[in-house]
């Protein structure tokens, strides 16, 4: 089977194989991505992030089902070790999620987060493009919102939703601060818990302190995802943001920015690999490491001479 | 004042300026690092990581004070937005920490974690080297243990201590799993809380499943850091691990591995910058982004031609 044509004609098996090729960096991955790239840019991408236990997977489930009712083809990328899609979370979650996995209009893929040598955000972006070329109308990226890598992952999205819950305590403040800046939409989930008003005020205050440059004030929704409460309003908020992105030209602006970031990452990645491969093959790398370790040379001048030797 | 000689003669002001130069990537930073590198490699580096609220700062405080009682010069790098050193945590913590900041034998520096465009682990490694050249006998890196970037940061350490607390619930499992593999020593802090035995068993089980290759079984300590309980045993465990690293040759093995990783990161970073600067200056970069955005070209072939044009 030709993977490229398979993906373009909507074959789930072909998409699955293409993702595996990208994840494992098989030789054919670059060719696949290269050919499919010209068929991307159509899907609307939503990033869902927040601390562990915020109910991101349950929200993803509800949102995906709502898009399905609208007749839309949905892709889900779970970059979240606590996600039931990735084998985490409790059994009940995983059973509930099976309804989605049995729907032909939904394609779910979880990404390995452990043991990854960086590059996870780049791979996530490529999986999103594959699902886009496959014909997904909406792609949801679910990622646990802590740490720089996770923030990088969420930057792949057109709309970023930050999910918080009341009562996680002061310790979680830092996590909130780190992801507050990237939220286009906020959702306070488990809204029947105590402390919801306080959390709402906290978010409002942080938004006042860090206003987004563009003409969009991030709305704060309240949901109880497990009971389906607040989902209708949330879907409206999502639709509003999508409309805003389109009408303001912000969608184009963001996508160009994102493309620049991706391009830089690709240049860095590939040029670095080339140089290291070259040095490793010739045995130079080990010699250099050795002389630095013995404090005969310093790493900064070594890198300088490496650059001089490989660059035009 | 000459910064390099200042750091080498133990001037706190010089060290402070050198760190600022590295953090902000001032022009003189490379020269400083280059000259000081040959005077590094003497300090013993401990990484302390764990979820928010585990009590890492309080443990850092107790451990630092114990090393001080042994007459050792201590450096502390806080890469943790919840650390009192970084302005996080509650007021009481920050007041208590002031005892350390008033001690001439302790140098504390917090690293900005927000808005950092990656490279944080590289900068942390450089700050550690500066403190090393400054004459610190022991350097403690305190970092919140969630996400790949934080794991990368902790790889700078000779000994990694993972701090956990009972009763954080199932949601925290993923975080635990992600950092379990890097722990040389485990500490269950707040050991007067319920659930300590269960947590102990969980850690034991995970250690059984993922045995470390080297001949060291990570011990599990119990502490109540706020009351100073268990610190003596913990210090013994740390001393044991340091001894193990020295006698087994593992210290050298780890440091060579770390040097390789650092060297690769430096090559990637600098070569990428060079290329991007060159393309940006000539206006080529924007032209490329534009043609990709219009789907006239794909990013993969663009990157390929960039590489061909800059590499020998």
Residues of A in contact with B81 (CB under 8 A): 174, 177-178
Q: How far apart are alpha carbons B218 and B232 in whole angstroms?
A: 17
Query: Three-state SS for B220?
Result: strand
Contact A187, B190 (CB under 8 A): no
User: Looking at the predicted structure, is the pLDDT value of residue B169 above 60?
Assistant: no
**In chain A, what residues touch B307 (CB-CB under 8 Å)?**
267, 270-271, 274
d(CA B26, CA B30): 8
Closest by Cβ to A82, choosing from B81, B174, B307: B174
B148–A147 CB contact, under 8 Å: yes
Q: What is the mean pLDDT of residues B160-187?
A: 73
Does B91 have pLDDT greater than 60?
no
Task: Read off the pLDDT of each residue in A29-47 and give the average, rounded to a whole number.
Answer: 94
Rounded to a whole number of angstroms, the distance from the CA of B146 to the nearest CA of chain A is 6
Of A283, A274, A260, residue with least CA distance to A307: A274
Range A89-106 average pLDDT: 66
Nearest residue on chain B to A89, alpha-carbon basis: B171
What structural domains does chain B harbor? 1-39 (no CATH), 41-247 (3.40.50.300), 263-310 (no CATH)
pLDDT at A258 over 60: yes
Report the residue of B303, B306, B307, B308 to disrupt the A interface, i.e. the one with the largest count of A CBs within 10 Å.
B303
Which of B29, B50, B150, B171 best tests the A interface by mutation, with the highest count of A CBs <10 A?
Answer: B171
Closest CB to A53: pick one of B171, B271, B288.
B171
| Interchain contact, B275 vs A293, CB within 8 Å | no
The pLDDT of residue B148 is: 60
Chain A: give the shortest CA distance to residue B245, in Å: 17
In a mutational test of the A interface, the residue from B111, B150, B174 whose CB has the highest number of chain A CBs within 10 Å is: B174
pLDDT at residue number B218: 92
pLDDT value of position A171: 45
- The pLDDT assigned to A224 comes to 96
Q: What is the model's pTM?
A: 0.72
- The beta-carbon neighbor of B262 closest among A148, A262, A299 is A299
What was the pLDDT predicted at B117? Answer: 42
Give B12→chain A minimum CA distance, Å: 24
pLDDT at A82: 59
Under 8 Å between Cβ of B151 and B26: no
CA angle, B272 as apex, B266 and B276 as ends, to 5°?
150
Give residue B8's pLDDT. 97
Q: What is the pLDDT of residues A152-203, one digit of tens each?
A: 777 789 999 999 888 765 445 545 556 677 889 999 999 998 888 988 888 8
Most B-contacting residue of A174, A273, A309 (CB-CB within 10 A), to test interface: A174
CA-nearest of A15, A29, A21 to A134 is A15
Round the average pLDDT of chain B to a whole number and report it: 84
pLDDT digits (tens, 9 = 90+) for B232-280: 999 999 999 999 999 999 999 999 988 988 888 888 778 877 888 888 8
pLDDT for A17 equals 94
Considering chain B, what percentage of its residues have pLDDT values greater than 70? Answer: 83
Strand partners for A77: A109, A141
Cβ(B89)–Cβ(B57) under 8 Å? yes
Residue B272 is nearest to which of A264, A302, A303, comparing CB atoms?
Answer: A264
Contacting residues of A for B53, CB less than 8 Å apart: 169, 171-172
Chain A nearest-CA residue for B115: A178
CA distances from A147 to A153, A159, B7, B122 (A): 10, 19, 32, 16
Higher pLDDT, B209 or B159: B159
- Which range has the top average pLDDT, A247-261, B123-137, B194-208, B297-311? B123-137
Find chain B residues with C-beta within 8 A of A41's C-beta.
295
Q: Is the reported ipTM for this assembly greater than 0.90?
A: no
Identify all chain B residues contacting A275, using CB atoms and an 8 Å cutoff.
267, 271
Consecutive H or E run containing B257? helix B250-282
Dump pLDDT digits (tens) for B92-127.
555 556 677 778 899 998 886 654 445 677 889 999
CA dist., res. A288 & res. A52, Å (int): 43
Rounded to an integer, the average pLDDT of B23-42 is 91
Residues B192 and B224: beta-carbon distance below 8 Å: yes
β-pair partners for B220: B186
Q: HSE-up of A151 (CA within 13 Å, CB side)?
A: 20
Name beta bridge partners: A143.
A49, A79
Task: Kindly state the tokens that stand for A223.
Answer: 């949901």
């Amino acid at each position: 089977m030709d993977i490229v044509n398979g993906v373009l004609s909507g074959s789930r098996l072909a998409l699955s194989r293409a993702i595996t090729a990208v994840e494992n960096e098989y030789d054919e991955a670059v060719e696949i991505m290269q050919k499919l790239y010209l068929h991307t840019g159509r899907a609307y991408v939503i990033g869902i992030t927040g601390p562990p236990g915020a109910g991101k997977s349950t929200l993803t489930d509800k949102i995906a089902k709502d898009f399905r009712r609208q007749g839309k083809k949905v892709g889900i990328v779970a970059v979240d070790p606590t996600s039931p899609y990735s084998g985490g979370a409790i059994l009940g979650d995983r059973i509930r999620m099976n309804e989605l996995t049995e729907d032909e209009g939904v394609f779910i893929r979880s990404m390995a987060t452990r043991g990854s040598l960086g590059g996870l955000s780049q791979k996530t972006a490529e999986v999103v493009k594959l699902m886009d070329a496959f014909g997904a109308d909406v792609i949801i990226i679910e990622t646990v919102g802590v740490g720089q890598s996770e923030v990088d992952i969420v930057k792949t999205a057109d709309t970023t939703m930050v999910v918080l819950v009341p009562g996680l305590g002061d310790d979680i403040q830092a996590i909130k601060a780190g992801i507050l800046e990237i939220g286009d939409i906020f959702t306070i989930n488990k809204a029947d818990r105590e402390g919801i008003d306080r959390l709402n005020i906290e978010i409002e205050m942080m938004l006042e302190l860090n206003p987004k440059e563009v003409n969009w004030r991030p709305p704060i929704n309240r949901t109880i995802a497990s009971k389906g409460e607040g989902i209708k309003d949330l879907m409206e908020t999502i639709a509003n943001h999508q409309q805003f992105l389109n009408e303001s030209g912000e969608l184009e602006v963001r996508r160009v920015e994102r493309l620049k970031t991706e391009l830089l990452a690709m240049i860095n990645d590939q040029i670095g690999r080339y140089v290291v491969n070259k040095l490793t093959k010739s045995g130079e790398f080990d010699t250099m490491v050795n002389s630095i370790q013995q404090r005969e040379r310093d790493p900064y001048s070594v890198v300088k001479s490496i650059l001089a030797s490989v660059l035009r």
